[in-house]
Chains A and B, each alone.
Chain A
Amino acid sequence: MHNRAAFFSLLHRLLLAAALAILAFYLIVYLAYAANLLLFPFDYDQGEGFELVDTILFSRGRWPYMNTEVFPFYSSNYPPLFHVLAAPLVSLFGPAYWYGRLLGFLATLVTAAAIGFAVYREGLAHANRRAYLVTAVLSGLAYLASNTVYHIGPLFRQHATMVMFETLAVVVLARALDIVSPRQRRAALLAGLLLIIAAGYTKQLAAVTLAAAAVFLFLRGPLRAVLWTALAGAIGAAIFVWMNAATDGEWWRQAILANVNELHILQTIGLFRQWIGLHGFLIAAAVLLTLHELYFDRLSLYSVWFVLAVLINGSASGTWGGGDSYFATAIAAACILSGVFAARTLSGGWHFPENYLSRRLVEPLKPHSALLRAAGLLIIPLLYIGYGRAVLHLPTQEPGFSQVAQFLQIQPNAQNGFYDSARTADGQYPSGYADIGHFVTAADAEAGWRIVEMIAQSEKPVLSEEAGFVLQAGREVVTNPTQLLNLDKKGLYDGSALIEMIERQEFGLVILRAQFYPERVLQAIGRAYRHTETVRMNGFNYLILRPADGSS
């Protein structure tokens, strides 16, 4: 009997060490990816350059929400906070991608730390704190190991920063009502709600966290929920009205009206399947803890947040402009819940009060509690090992990683020799999944500089679908194509001034990638410009078009 216990304990420790090693490996992959991207001087993810343009505008004290019918036909559709945070760095370092990518990367590290803290804090009153400490580390690493978090983290984009503010808000609010001192409790509630507002002004998708906080507060006391939600709403609305007045209504038009996009249900279904396939081990544990809270305990903010993030943001992932990144909030919530689930299992911290369900489901299992406890010691590390297998991603050609890939017999299924388990063996992936994650090469940078050279040779303004080339050439960025498309889809875009400029061949070059301009703008380009060459950079074909009359 004693030998069997010792064997289980040893096996448990070995499996736990294996789980930690696997997730630590993904941290190394993540660090290498971030280091690789920081140095890349052009757009990596589609649209990054326009976020840099927004940041430059803020650094000059200008709003990026502008009338797209007049030259330079530019506007942003994102809230301002991420760009405002990065704006001082424009003054220090000039226009560059690295600091925005660094901010996004650091945001994911803060989020992982907050997830770990949330799990560890659940065990502060528990005798077995070690179990909570270990699972806290596993939970934080699990967040960074997610394929989705990995590939959106070190980008010049606001999504990772939004999730950071959301997670911090939830961690603050989850225990705010347990604070005995009324003054400290109010301070915690205010801090949590301000963090949610910060998340909302980083990206609109954070509305789900405000909804989760409101539901949670409602469960704990409806009157208090109404008062605090009204306060948060009033602060948020005051900022909104001020921004709208300061931009002559363009904030409302560009960031709200233009951002309501149609839903493609098949994309939603495809991304849900992929999300479950990759994160199923964490999701299963999160769902079990949520069910335990629903029927045997009190619902935590983490559970409410998880459910709403899955339902609302998950559904919205199928919208035009949406994608797998919309699951990042649900992934953060799943990491916290699965961490608490794991720690409770390892520490024997489950309690089932007497009710009709515990009589039917739990009582019959009580004679086997010792066996279940021993099984739990093995199942929990296996859960994280299984998760580690499901989210497998690594470069297969870089030094150090190529040996791992060889050992695991992995063939690349993405660009530049990258392997991503989110894709099929032949590289297919559901619509909406970001085609990134691979490392960039020196050849990619060279290709980018070749395009910059072409821009420099032109005396006229350049219409480029990605801003990075134009910025590197020191020219003015003209248009934000996806925003023109957003507006056009809502019937909010005329475009005659831009089309006239195109027809008069006033642009020296047109550079296309995804061709995300409104249809009639593309038709005008097709009539007035001819395709002269294609430059392949970062796995994408950049079409270079010159005026049909031969001028440039």
Chain B
Amino acid sequence: MLNKPLTKRQLGWLLLVGGVAAFIGIIGIDILDAGREGGIGPAQQTALTFFALLALVGLTLLPLGDAPA
């Protein structure tokens, strides 16, 4: 199992879960660090867009099933 190539579906789940987790994490920084001024800056905006895209790519890989990644 551990030495088999990853499938498209497995890669899709990794990207989806990783993207969503990172997206929530970045938003979380702002919520937890509420005293900070300036809100979401350009670096955070870029990171949020990237992780949203990553999750979306993951989602589109799920239907590809057991094809090797």
A interface residues with partner B (beta carbon < 8 Å): 218-224, 263, 265-266, 269, 294-295, 298-299, 311, 353, 355-357
Contact = CB atoms under 8 A, between A and B. Distances in A.
Given A219-B6, A294-B57, A265 B42 contact: yes
Contacts of A218: 6
B43 A223 contact: no
B63 interface: yes
B2 A265 contact: no
Interface residues of B, number: 19
Contact of B67 (A220, A223, A355): A355
12 contacts: A219-B6, A220-B6, A222-B3, A222-B6, A223-B2, A223-B3, A224-B3, A266-B42, A294-B57, A295-B61, A298-B5, A355-B64
Interface string B27-64: 00000000000000111001000100000010011011
Interface of A, helix, strand, loop or mixed by DSSP: helix
Nearest to B69: A219
Contact of A222 (B2, B57, B68): B2
B31 to A, nearest CB: 22
B11 interface: yes
A311 B22 CA distance: 15
Contact of A269 (B42, B57, B67): B42
Nearest to A311: B50
Contacts of A357: 60
B17 to A, nearest CB: 15
Contacts of A353: 67
B23 to A, nearest CB: 16
Contact of A263 (B4, B11, B43, B60): B43
A295 B41 CA distance: 33
A356 B63 contact: yes
A188 B61 CA distance: 31
B5 A219 contact: yes
A543 to B, nearest CB: 36
B38 to A, nearest CB: 13
Contacts of B41: 265
A269 B43 CA distance: 10
A298 B69 contact: yes
A299 B41 CA distance: 33
Contacts of B60: 295, 357
A325 B61 CA distance: 34
A266 B43 CA distance: 9
Given A265-B41, A265-B43, A356-B63, A221 B4 contact: yes
Contacts of B69: 219, 298-299
Contacts of B57: 294
A269 B46 CA distance: 10
A220 B2 CA distance: 10
A294 to B, nearest CB: 7
A296 to B, nearest CB: 9
A221 B67 contact: no
A355 B61 CA distance: 11
A218 B43 CA distance: 29
Contacts of B63: 355-356
B5 A221 contact: yes
Nearest to A356: B63
Given A295-B64, A357-B60, 4 more contacts: A219-B5, A222-B2, A223-B2, A295-B60
A219 B46 CA distance: 27
A294 B61 contact: yes
A450 B2 CA distance: 67
